Amino acid sequence: MICSVECFVRFIKEPPCRGTAQLGILSFSMAQFQGGRPIFGEPDIEFYVRSTPKLSEELVRRSEQASELEAKKKHTADERAQLDRFRTFEERASATEAGQLFVEVRGVDVFDPSTGEVRSDSADGIACWMIDDDYNEESFFVRHAYFLGQNDPYKAMKTTLKAEIDEEAWSTLNSDTSRPFDRPKSGRIAVKVINHLGYEVMKVFRVE
């Protein structure tokens, strides 16, 4: 969770400027290849546009899964977390207006050079993820920032910032699903994902 907190503090105190993100990508990418450490790879990301078959089908699928889970008398911690994610997804979908979209990060693939294997990590392995909702292919500007973290990220955030934080406001940032935003004028969005070791990867999407 340390990485998540540091990302948040840097985001607040040092607003991103042109060129900063590019330098960050370069330094993190080089670090990934040193010492035979696991390499942060392809992120599993989806974006959904209002009133499209893709979103409608996903809402139906998740509603069915949620109904099955809710029918159980007892739930594990993972099942409760899954239900919370279902509710958040539905809330963000409902809040999305015509011409808008939202993004969901599901996890990331990690390549281990010592074994030659690729494993798929869930969103639990992500400390921080950000969106440039109108990517110009030159610089990454942070328009949205979300923090997943482990253990108790809310408590860690308060300790690091030494201040009280609105828990309701924090809950909108502690999410694997973004708030809705308008279609990009550039026709592209970029999503950057950072894990707990500080490695990052960026993926660009074209939005028709």
Last residue of a domain, one of 62, 95, 128: 95
> What's the pLDDT band for 160 if we cut at 50, 70, 90?
confident
Looking at the structure, tell me whether residues 133 and 161 fall in a common domain.
Answer: yes
**Same domain for 153 and 120?**
yes
- Do 173 and 72 lie in a common domain? no
What's the structural domain count of the chain? 2
Q: Are residues 155 and 195 in the same domain?
A: yes
- Whether the per-residue pLDDT at 100 is higher than 90: the answer is yes
Say yes or no: 122 and 187 in one domain: yes
Same domain, 57 and 40: no
Q: Are residues 107 and 81 located together in one domain of the fold?
A: no
What is the pLDDT, as a whole number, of residue 27?
30
Average pLDDT over residues 24-52: 61
- Averaged pLDDT, 55-65: 93
Last residue of a domain, one of 95, 119, 154: 95
Quote the CA–CA distance of 106 and 117 in Å, as a whole number.
20
- 43 band by pLDDT with thresholds 50, 70 and 90: confident
Top-confidence residue, 12 or 101: 101
Write out the residue range of the structural domain in which residue 127 sits. 5-48+103-206
pLDDT above 90 for 18: no
Nearest by Cα to 125 from 194, 35, 62: 194
Are 169 and 197 contained in the same domain? yes
Is 135 in the same domain as 158? yes
**Is the per-residue pLDDT at 29 higher than 60?**
no
Mean pLDDT computed over 166-191: 88
Same domain, 87 and 147: no
pTM of the model: 0.73
- 201 and 145 share one domain: yes
Are residue 115 and residue 22 in the same domain, yes or no?
yes
